[in-house]
Structure 1
């Protein structure tokens, strides 16, 4: 699809030398998932988020998470109108299509939890009433490393709601030189004209749903899920939700690569980014490495 090619061309113009990161970000949105970008400050996390919102033509709002941020600063609050003598609910920034939660782990767990229901059910509860969010609702969160001061760890329930976690890392010397010469990746990200409209994004997501998944591939994925639960290497294995989201991401990956069916290689490629952040090793080992070792022992049917 020409529009997808143009989308990636624009994204790779903003995030130089990291095509896997831009591919994973697009896969996440087309799979109707939420994206967690984890890295040190200054490597382009927020820039990538802005570019995605602009290029997909989605209304978006940004919330800077800080230690004094309250849940009501995200969801909204009920206020009393002196003129009408009535209470009105003033909507918060969560009422948008794409919410950028910048430096999400600088807020307290109480504030982080304000996103839990919205990310899972696309609705919020206010004074006993359920309020629906936009039909296309995505959260892109950036996170600083936990060893940095002023950060709080994301609870497991919050991590499990992110379909993909990725890290941008430092650019190579070649691409960093280009970035320095270009002087202004943020300005470029902010000036991107939309490639898609919000309606087209919904249509793309529906096309992803049509990608074929064979029964053998489902059995292969099931074996991986079961392995995380029975290997004894992890505190808890992957949940059924993790399996469903992993499979949906694989369908999105196949779609953007122009295929009408999912391959085992799609499952393997996405493993680190869709599953590792949901796993914790009993002995503190690297969950990505342990998961890769587990997958290497499972035969493709």
Structure 2
């Protein structure tokens, strides 16, 4: 009789315990951020550990280069480090647990293991991350600069060809008065400046040298600046030659723009690497 009473009391106690704990567990599943222990948040988000926390996230592949102790560049977006536990609790828990485990291992290590040998891997990994970040940033800056140069080359090439086409069209018209070549020469100077800059950046580039040589064709420049009567025998031929010249210049500049974009490359004339613009 006494054993039955004890079993009944145990069942009742267990039922009460389950009734109290199951709702809390269910609430924890619905709100993962609330399950984070307060001590983890306090430990990992203190001012002196935020930098190491962000570095740990980068080493674990959870954040992107460029993160700071204040702003974290997660794969899913940018978050404030102080809001990380609520914004991305899973990645915060993983990073914080790893940091606490690393600190615990370091604290439990024997005194003989501390010092230069224990800190060397951390310094090496930190230096490697810094170097890789620097290289990536510099590479992106050079890439963006070369893309901007290529776009300017293309735009000036198109403007030059259109100005020559307009000039020739006006010359061929019997209605309009004789036009001048001021617009053609202006766009020619702009394009020559951009091609010259590209040649300075890549002095061994045969593509840039060909584009500049074609652009500075003295015969075509003389035809632009020298007035001829419309009744002269070579007048029509000269107008057609000007149109073809402007088109060929634009094609050469487009090849140069593509070569500028495809970086890093080396000119075939240097004896190694890939030919620029071929």
Please report the TM-score for the alignment, with normalisation by the length of structure 2: 0.21
More RCO (CA 8 Å, sep 6+):
1
- The structure with the greater share of residues assigned to helix is 2
Please report the TM-score for the alignment, with normalisation by the length of structure 1: 0.20
